[in-house]
Amino acid sequence: MEEIINNILRHTKRLIVLVIGGTVLLFGIALIFVPGPAIIVIPLGLMILATEFLWARVILERLKEKIKGKKS
């Protein structure tokens, strides 16, 4: 029974992270087309998603590498 509860809690946490992170990310993408700090909001959404999803972590790492490459 405890395993089922832990499984439900884990999936619930992933769903909450997906909804919040996805909303922030979509808002950041919308800010590309309207005035706003898209360059800050998009990585923030990816950081939220990266706490639970590997694909977001990979995209965030690639973004960090590109930013570091442009500074040099």
SS (H, E, C) 34-69: CCCCHHHHHHHHHHHHHCCCHHHHHHHHHHHHHHHH
pLDDT 10s per residue in the chain (72 long)? 999 999 999 999 999 999 999 999 999 999 999 999 999 999 999 999 999 999 999 999 999 998 888 765
Q: What is the pLDDT of residue 27?
A: 97
- For the entire predicted model, the pTM comes to 0.86
Q: How far is CA 18 from the centre of its chain?
A: 8
